[in-house]
Structure 1
């Protein structure tokens, strides 16, 4: 922007200077020509009295003196054909002047000035002088050089002013851009120092207000999530008491383990909601261990509902750039969808394998299939919250991967979670 403003001002300045200096330069040349012509005419007219009344010798002496003083050729053509002063032949202008008409004409040597002198007893005499081009253009080159330097100085001054003006615009805009990027990187304490024109100061104030409002909304959101999560502790405590009261020790242990896992998830949610900060350092999670743990948890429910489980895990470890709790939540969301949207007895398979620098987690079932619209946050065709696939999608994107929906060749849904490697 700074360069464009400077270029624009330079172009405008050059156009203005040209439109002003070119006519002025032509005017100076014309004035110099006219001034030399007037001076030569005045010198020639000073001879008119002598030529009209004196004899030839007196005229010759007067003309020679004028030639010596002026430095230009001066000739006097007497009616009898005698030429006094500078040698010259009668030109068409001289012949026309013998009829009593004074005039000026352009010649190859310069500007010719002829003056008709009447009153002599023997006829009309003619005074002729030539203004050379060197005299007509004397000082014009120097004046043009001064005008050119003046034009350059004016353009440079315009560029300096434009550069200063551009800095007052570009610097605040650059600061606005930097603060915007800092806000995008979750640095919510970043603020702009309003500077520059009134419009940019207003934009800076609006950005500061927006950043403050975002900070307030995030605080409110985290407090609400934390409060909501905290309220879950009461029913969890009740579930723990109910689990401990079960007569079958295996059932009690299984339910208690489930309650412990849910309580850990709630505790992690509270901690994340209250003290969430941008991720720092390198996040490394062994996908094999996390997936194996979550599949083992869901296998108990699969056995109760008559579902066959096929688990195919590549030899570990397979590091991915997703926090362990987020990967576990993504796996729970995918397996939870299988139980929620397929009838009891529907088999499903879980596969984990490396591919092209990523780790592919595939969850496939033999159910009715799934539509691509279901990946939208809040979208559900079975009365659920519609957040399961969105949780998985965000976990994949956090590692630089993506979520893919498809169908198995024999029917049923197939969800592929592409997980990227740890951040370097």
Structure 2
């Protein structure tokens, strides 16, 4: 934006300067020509009025055409303009290399003609220097305009860049991000509106947490009553069956409430090295039973990522579960966690049949499953501002990469 504003000001300033300096340059040339012609006319008249038509003191080349046909002074041809001036008229004519000023003068033998030659160099004396001065002034004004435009553009773009950074932080789940109002009034208004939006989101999340707590309290009472009713049944088997159903219902409700609370609480963080290592060890038991070779590469130091431990564990379980579900027994697999581009890159590679881009669609599966495994990984990555990438290596198989931002 700064560059475009600078180019706009440069173009506008150039157009204005051209509209002003070109007429001024033409005016300077016209003034110089008029001055040279005025000096030539004055020289011709002074020679015409001088005794004996003397040309010795003339500042410019002077030729006097006498009535008897003789010529004094600087040699010059007797042109049609000279013959016209001999009739008593003052004439100015253009000739090769300049102009000539012809003034008639009365002499004892008739009408003489005084010719003063003005060269092109005399007509343009001082004009190139004036034009160079105008050109330098124009360039200086263009540069000054660009510098001022850049300063003004910086005053506008800096607050806008700040708004963009705050917006990205809010989109990534950092609800503590706030914009600092600054710049033009319009930009300050946008910053205040963005801060109010962030405050409103905080209020809505607080209300959601309160609703979840209220839901937990409301459901506990009917579940307790249901369990008491089950215990009061005379048939022990029926009572045990209803008690088990009530326990299942309570666990399901508790899981839903815990999930809602976890979303309301905002983004968490965890040590990706520890979580990934623990989940790989868990799945390694099943891999050993199926004869799968598992290659693991983890950082030597802890790697904090902006994802909760439960979310990351679910992501790893979904990716490894896909390998076990969609590849034959004995298929090798590799799990790598590395630092990459200021974040963490989790890669799960297998030597199975691979899959197409449609596997990224929620609920789509090529192996009869629900098709939500990759969607879980994608949502986990996007919750912290990361991304999911799926590719097929050259030698076959599948590669799933989950990029996570650091905490």
Q: Same fold (TM over 0.5)?
A: yes
Question: Secondary structure of 1:232's partner?
Answer: helix
Alignment of structure 1 residues 302-313 onto 2, 5 Å? none
Unaligned runs of 5+ in 1: 293-311, 332-349, 361-373, 376-388, 403-417
Q: Any idea what SS the aligned residue of 1:46 has? A: helix
2:211 corresponds to which of 210, 221, 224: 224
Q: How does 1:118-267 map to 2 (within 5 A)?
A: 118=106, 120-239=107-226, 241=228, 247-248=236-237, 258=248, 261-262=251-252, 265=255
Aligned to 1:306: none
Whether contact under 8 Å (1:75, 1:86) holds in the other structure is: yes
SS at match of 1:143: helix
Q: Give 1:105's aligned residue.
A: 93
How many angstroms does 1:125 deviate by?
Answer: 0.5
| Contact map agreement 1:287 1:317 (CA 8 A) in 2 | no
Contact 2:169 2:175 in 1 (8 A): yes
For 1:280 and 1:63, the matched residues in 2 are separated by: 105
Aligned to 1:49: 49
Q: Secondary structure at the match of 1:79?
A: coil
The alignment partner of 1:201 has SS state of helix
Q: Deviations over 1:269-322 (max 9, x none)?
A: 4752664434444364849979x9xxxxxxxxxxxxxxxxxxx99899999x99
When residues 316 and 253 of structure 1 are mapped into structure 2, their CA distance, relative to the original with a 3 A threshold, is: farther
C-alpha distance in 1, partners of 2:295/2:257? 27
Asked if 1 retains the 8 angstrom alpha-carbon contact of 2:209 and 2:261, the reply is: no
How much has 1:200 moved relative to structure 2?
A: 1.0
**Bigger Rg, structure 1 or 2:** 1
Q: 1:105 to 1:325 in 2, by over 3 A?
A: closer
Q: How does 1:327-342 map to 2 (within 5 A)?
A: none
Q: CA RMSD in A?
A: 4.5
**Residues 267 and 133 (structure 1), Cα distance of their counterparts in 2 relative to 1, 3 Å cut:** closer
Aligned to 1:268: 258
Contact 2:377–2:388 (CA<8 Å) still a contact in 1?
A: yes
Q: TM-score, normalised by structure 1?
A: 0.66
CA gap 1:229/1:289 in 2 versus in 1, 3 angstroms = farther
The corresponding residue for 2:376 is: 395
Determine helix, strand or coil for the equivalent of 1:152. helix
CA distance in 2, matches of 1:318, 1:238: 50
Map of 1:37 onto structure 2? 37
Structure 2 SS opposite 1:27: helix
Query: What TM-score results when the alignment is normalised by the length of structure 2?
Result: 0.68
2:104 equivalent to 1:116: yes
Asked whether the 8 Å contact 1:111–1:130 carries over to 2, the reply is: yes
Judging changes above 3 Å, is the alpha-carbon distance between structure 1 residues 24 and 166 closer, same or farther for their aligned structure 2 residues? same
- Identify the residue that residue 78 of structure 2 maps to in structure 1: 90
Q: Secondary structure at the match of 1:157?
A: helix
Deviations, residues 208-243 of structure 1 (Å, cap 9, x unaligned): 111111110111112212321233333444455566
Task: Tell me the equivalent position of 1:63.
Answer: 55
